[in-house]
């Protein structure tokens, strides 16, 4: 159900990182539907292009696919230059991320970096590259970062992601103050479980039992509302934060999780009961998902 009037985002230009798939694609779809012009970025060029073509045709607006690995500062700067050369952006959604469940004792430094380089470093590079341009061009703008509720209570079995998202939570609050005089707002959304292919392959491989995420067939999973999130609900919250009209709202992180965090923590603490063989099976399933995706990457 859409809550907003047609054409609300007409004349606005947004970049959605990781906009080719999952939640990023949903938010991009909503902004495009409301008339915005969009840039979406990611590493898999063909996946991005397919989404850009689909959304631009569906909503009769311009959607540009920008292949970019946000872990690489120069690539981020090039991407931002390309977008700003066509006119200043009005907003950025920091949505790109990497994640997988694992016992922390099984992680190598490389495994930690595989997540932190995307979520912590990459998100900062993109925010900085946009922010510098907005400040220089005296352009009012808006940032939304997609976090998780684990920024408040920790993420057992997803420690690199939880640490990185917590860092971006503090970036949001810090820059909300530092950049308020420049007319730049920063807010964040902490979604509970919203089933996507990317997340489920890495956080709920094989729909294993005991996952806090639930599955498409078992959506209760201890959530007070007895269900996972619906995409429209996230799309509407992102639009509310991005649109003109709540300009005094900044530095906030809003949970959208059916009360999951308040009700029972909403993290993966119950995975403590899994044994060595379960974790090996999980790792094998995640590895095969990663390998399949990697064959489509060109950057």
Residues in the site for ligand NAP, rule: CB under 6 A? 17-18, 20-24, 41-44, 47, 68-71, 95-99, 118, 122, 146, 148, 191, 193-194, 196, 198-199, 293
State which residue, 22 or 91, has the beta carbon closest to ligand NAP.
22
- Among ligand NAP, ligand HXC, none, the one that 69 touches (CB under a kind-dependent 5 to 8 A) is ligand NAP
By a kind-dependent CB cut-off of 5 to 8 A, residue 47 interacts, out of ligand NAP, ligand HXC, none, with: ligand NAP
Q: Which two tokens stand for residue 28?
A: 């991009």
Give which of ligand NAP, ligand HXC, none residue 106 binds (C-beta under 5 to 8 Å, depending on kind): ligand HXC
Distance CA 79, CA 39 (A): 10
Q: Which residue is nearest to ligand NAP (CB)?
A: 198
Out of ligand NAP, ligand HXC, none, which partner does residue 172 contact, by CB within 5 to 8 A per kind? none
Count of H-run helices and E-run strands, the chain: 11, 7
Distance CA 14, CA 211 (A): 34
Nearest distance from C-beta of residue 210 to ligand HXC, angstroms: 15
CB 89 within 8 A of CB 64: no
Residue 142: CB minimum distance to ligand HXC, A: 22
Query: Which residue, 118 or 274, is less far from ligand NAP as judged by CB?
Result: 118
- In terms of CB distance, is 10 or 197 closer to ligand NAP? 197
Closest approach, Cβ 6 to ligand NAP, in A, equals 26
**Strand, helix or coil at 291?**
helix
CA-CA distance, 108 to 178, in Å (whole number)? 35
In the bound state with ligand HXC, the residue whose beta carbon lies nearer, of 92 and 116, is 116
- Among candidates 77, 71, 66, which has minimal Cα distance to 24? 66
CB of 236: closest distance to ligand HXC in angstroms? 19
Residues near ligand HXC (CB under 6 A): 97-100, 102, 106-108, 110-111, 114-115, 148, 161, 193, 198-199, 202-203, 213, 283, 286-287, 290, 294
DSSP string, 67-103: E--TT-HHHHHHHHHHHHHTS--SEEEE---------
- The first and second tokens of residue 97, run together, are 């991320």
Residue 16 forms beta bridges with which residues?
40, 93
CB 17 to ligand NAP: min, Å: 6
Give the shortest CB-184-to-ligand NAP separation in angstroms.
21
CB 67 within 8 A of CB 298: yes
C-alpha span between 83 and 93 (Å, rounded): 14
- Region label for 230, one of left (φ > 0), alpha (ψ between -120 and 50) or beta (otherwise): beta
């Amino acid at each position: 159900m859409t809550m907003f009037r047609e054409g609300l985002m007409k004349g606005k230009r947004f970049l959605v990182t990781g906009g080719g798939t999952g939640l990023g694609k949903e938010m991009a779809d909503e902004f495009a539907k409301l008339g915005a012009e969009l840039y979406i970025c990611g590493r898999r060029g063909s996946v991005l292009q397919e989404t850009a073509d689909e959304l631009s045709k569906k909503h009769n607006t311009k959607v540009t696919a920008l292949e970019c690995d946000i872990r690489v500062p120069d690539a981020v700067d090039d991407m931002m230059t390309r977008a700003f050369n066509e006119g200043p952006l009005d907003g950025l959604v920091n949505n790109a991320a990497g994640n997988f469940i694992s016992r922390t004792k099984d992680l190598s430094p490389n495994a930690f970096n595989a997540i932190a380089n995307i979520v912590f470093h990459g998100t900062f590079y993109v925010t900085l590259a946009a922010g510098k341009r907005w400040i220089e061009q005296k352009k009012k703008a808006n940032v939304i970062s997609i976090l998780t509720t684990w920024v408040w209570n920790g993420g057992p079995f997803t420690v690199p992601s939880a640490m990185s998202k917590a860092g971006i939570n503090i970036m949001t609050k810090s820059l909300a103050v530092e950049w308020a005089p420049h007319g730049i707002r920063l807010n964040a959304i902490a979604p509970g479980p919203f089933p996507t292919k990317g997340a489920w392959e890495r956080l709920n491989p094989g729909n294993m039992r005991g996952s806090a995420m639930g599955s498409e067939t078992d959506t209760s999973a201890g959530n007070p509302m007895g269900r996972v999130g619906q995409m429209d609900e996230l799309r509407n919250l992102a639009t509310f934060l991005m649109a003109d009209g709540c300009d005094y709202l900044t530095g906030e992180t809003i949970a959208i999780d059916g009360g999951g965090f308040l009700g029972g923590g909403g993290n993966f603490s119950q995975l403590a009961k899994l044994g060595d063989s379960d974790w090996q099976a999980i790792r094998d399933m995640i590895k095969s998902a990663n390998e399949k995706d990697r064959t489509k990457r060109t950057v």
